[in-house]
Chains A and B, each alone.
Chain A
Amino acid sequence: MKTIIFQTASNYLLPLLLLFSVFILLRGHYLPGGGFVGGLIASIAFVIHSFANGLEKTRSIIKFHPGFLMPVGLVFAIGAGAAPWFVGQPFMTGLWFEDPIPVIGMVGSALFFDTGVFLVVIGVSLTIIFTISETL
C-alpha cells in the first residue's frame, strides 16, 4: 500500500513488535505468554511490514526462507527435551542453571523448549502467509 504514514509506522513497528514478542516469550514461564503467542506476534510484525512495503522487501529483510526456521526450532525443542538424558534423568525433566541471569531471570531447559516453539511458530506462520500472498 502506498501510504507514507503506514510505511513509516511499519518501519518503527517491526523492531518494537519483535522486542515485544521476545518479552512475551521470556515471561511465559509463570505468567501468560510463552513461545506460541510470542511467535505469532513476531510473525505479525513481519506481516504488517510486508503489507506496507511489499513482500519482496520483507523477504530481503529476513534474508532466508522462513521455512528454514521450522527444523531449527525443532532442534532447540528436541535438544531441550533430550538434555536430561545426559545426566541420567527421564526425558523432558526441567534442568535449571543455578544462578539467575540478569534481565532474563532463571534459565532452564523449559526456556530452550519455548524458544524452539517460538521459532517453529514463526517459521510455519510466515511460510503459510507468504505462500498465500504470493498466489493472490
Chain B
Amino acid sequence: MSNPYIVLPIIFQLFLAILLMFCWTQKNLQKLVSTVGSLIAVAIAVIMFAQVWKSGTLVTQAGNWGAPFGITFVADTFSVLMVLLTTLSGLAVSVFSVGAVRNARVKFGYFPILHFLIMGLCGAFLAGDIFNLYVWFEIIIISSFVLITIGGEKAQLEGSIKYVTMNLLASVVFLTAIAVLYGLTGSLNMADLSLKVAEIENRGLVNVTAILFLVGFGIKSAVFPLYFWLPASYHTPPPAISAIFGGLLTKVGIYALLRVFTLIFIPDAFMITLISIMAALTILSGGIGAMIQNNIRKIFSYLIICHIGFMLAGLGMYTELAILGTVFYLVHDIIVKTNLFMVSGLIFKIKGTYSLRLLGGFYKDYPKLSLLMAIPLFSLVGIPPLSGFWAKFYLIRGGLEVDNLVLVGFIILGSFLTLFIIARFWSEAFWKTGEELPKKLKVKYYHELKPLKQKAMVVSILFLAFISLGIGLGAEYVIQVASRVAEELMNPQSYIEAVLGKL
C-alpha cells in the first residue's frame, strides 16, 4: 500500500535539528525543544506502528519515480518497530542529556547533531534501496563522529581515532559490496534485488558479495574478529552519547544483516555455518572480555559484543522461531543497553569514578536508586519476569528446533557469563562497603546539580526501566509483534509485492 507520509519520522527529526540550529545560543530553549520534539517523534512512531500493524507494509517512492528506478522507502513491521524503539531511546537520551551533558558541549551543537543521528537511524530503518541504506549509514557515522569528538578531551580523541578508522573501513567494504552487486544485477532496489539475485547463475560471485556485506555490517555491529574498535572507543564520550551509541548504532548493523540476509542473499549451508561460528566466538570473546575489565563502561561495551553474538546466533539458526528470538532480543537489548550506559553515567555523577574497584556502598547510600538500577541490570541477565528471559528462551528453542546444540550451548554459556559479570558488578558496586572517595575538582557531582537536572537523569532511567518491565511482563504482545516480523522476514513475498506491485 502506498502512503506518502511514512518518511515523516525522518523529516521530523531533520525539522527538529533545524529548529535547534536556529536557537544555537539558547541552551535552555534547546533542551526544551529537544525533549518536546522527541515526545512528538514517539507519538508519530506509535501512530505509524499502529497503521502498519493494521494495514500491512506501507511504501512510498520518493520523487514519484517508479519502484526499481527511484528511491523507495518501505515501512514493514520490522522497520516501524525499529523506528519506534529508536524514538523511545532517543527520547530517553535527550531527557538524560538535559541533566548530564555539560553546557560547553551544548554550545557546540550537541542537540542538533543528536537529532541528525536519530534522523539517520530512522532513515536506515525505512530505506528500501540498498544504496540509500548506505547513505543513511554515512549520515549516522558522520553525526556519530561529531558526537564522539565533541568536547575534545584527550581520551575522547584517542577513542574516536579507532572508531572513525574502523567505521570508514566498514563503509568502504559496504560500498564495494554495493558496487559489485550493482554490477551483477543492475539494480539497487532491495525488493528487485531479491528477485534478480536469485536468478544469477554464478553462485560463487554471489557468495563473495554476500561475504563482503557480512564483513561491512560485521564491523559496524562489532561481531567476532572485527569488534576491537568498540571497547576501545565506547567508554570515552560522555555517558549520554555512549548511551545512544551502545543502544542503537551496533543494532543498525544487526538490522541491516537481518534485512540483507533474509531478503537478498538467502544463506546456503556454508553461510549459515560461517555466521554460526562468528556468533559463537562473538559471545565467547565479548563475555570473557567483560569479565576482566574494571571500568564499568568497558564492561558494558564488552557486554554489547557478547549480546550482539546472541542476535547473530538467531540469524545463524535461520528458522522463523530463531528470527523471532533475535527480533525479541533486539527489542529488549536496545532499551536495556541504552539504559545501562545512562546508569553508568548516573553512577559516575554520584561517585565520580567509573572504576569498579573504587566503587562501593551504593546500596547503603541510595537504596531507591539502586533498586531502579537493578531493573536494567537484571533484565540483561534474563531473570525470568524481566525482558531478557523471553528473548533467550526463544533463541534456545529455535536452536533446539534445528538441533544446533553447539550454538545453544554457547548461548547458555553467554547467559552464565553475563550473570557472573552482573553479579560481580552488583556485589562490587552496590553491596561492598565503599570507602570515601577523594573529590575531583573537574567533576560536577550529582548533589551539586540543580534539582531539575537530577530529576531529568532519574526520570529517563525510570522511563526505560518501565519499558523493560513492560516488555518482560507483557511479553505476550511483544511475541505477537516479533512473530509477525519473523514471518514477514522469512517470507519476503509480501515485501516484494508491496514495493513492486503484484507480480
Contact = CB atoms under 8 A, between A and B. Distances in A.
A/B touching: CB–CB < 8 A? yes
Nearest to B14: A78
B5 A85 contact: yes
B65 to A, nearest CB: 9
B149 interface: no
Contacts of A89: 4, 64
B198 interface: no
Q: Which of A70, A71, A75, A90 counts the most chain B CB atoms within 10 A?
A: A90
Contacts of B29: none
A92 interface: yes
Q: How big is chain A's contact interface, by range?
A: 10 to 19
Contact of B18 (A71, A81, A92, A93): A71
A25 B22 CA distance: 25
Contacts of A13: none
B431 interface: no
Interface in A76-126: 78, 81-82, 84-85, 88-94
Contact of B22 (A71, A81, A90): A71
Nearest to B22: A71
A88 B4 contact: yes
A74 B5 contact: no
B2 to A, nearest CB: 8
A84 B18 CA distance: 20
Given A67-B24, A71-B21, A71-B22, A91 B15 contact: no
Q: Is the interface of A mostly helix, strand, loop or mixed?
A: helix
Q: Which of B11, B18, B24, B60 counts the most chain A CB atoms within 10 A?
A: B18
A93 B11 contact: no
B75 to A, nearest CB: 13
B21 A91 contact: no
Interface string B20-32: 0110100000000
A82 B63 contact: no
A81 B14 CA distance: 12
A81 B11 contact: yes
A91 B11 contact: yes
A74 B5 CA distance: 20
B61 interface: yes
Contact of A78 (B4, B15, B62): B15
B4 A91 contact: yes
A91 B14 CA distance: 14
B18 A78 contact: yes
B7 interface: yes
Contact of A92 (B15, B17, B21, B63): B63
Q: Which of A70, A74, A81, A92 counts the most chain B CB atoms within 10 A?
A: A92
B440 to A, nearest CB: 30
Contacts of A84: 4, 64
B300 to A, nearest CB: 35
Contact of A94 (B7, B11, B14, B63): B63
B11 A90 contact: no
Given A81-B11, A85-B4, A93 B24 contact: no
A115 B14 CA distance: 18
Given A67-B24, A71-B22, A74-B21, A90 B4 contact: yes
Contacts of B15: 78
Contacts of A94: 63
B63 A90 contact: yes
A75 B15 CA distance: 8
Given A67-B24, A90-B63, A93-B63, A74 B14 contact: yes
Given A78-B11, A82-B11, A90-B4, 11 more contacts: A71-B21, A74-B14, A74-B17, A74-B18, A74-B21, A75-B18, A78-B14, A84-B64, A91-B4, A91-B7, A94-B63
25 contacts: A67-B24, A70-B21, A71-B18, A74-B14, A74-B17, A75-B18, A78-B11, A78-B14, A78-B15, A78-B18, A82-B11, A84-B4, A84-B64, A85-B5, A89-B4, A89-B64, A90-B2, A90-B4, A90-B60, A90-B63, A91-B60, A91-B62, A91-B63, A92-B62, A93-B64
Interface of A: 67, 70-71, 74-75, 78, 81-82, 84-85, 88-94
Interface of B: 2, 4-5, 7, 11, 14-15, 17-18, 21-22, 24, 60-64, 73
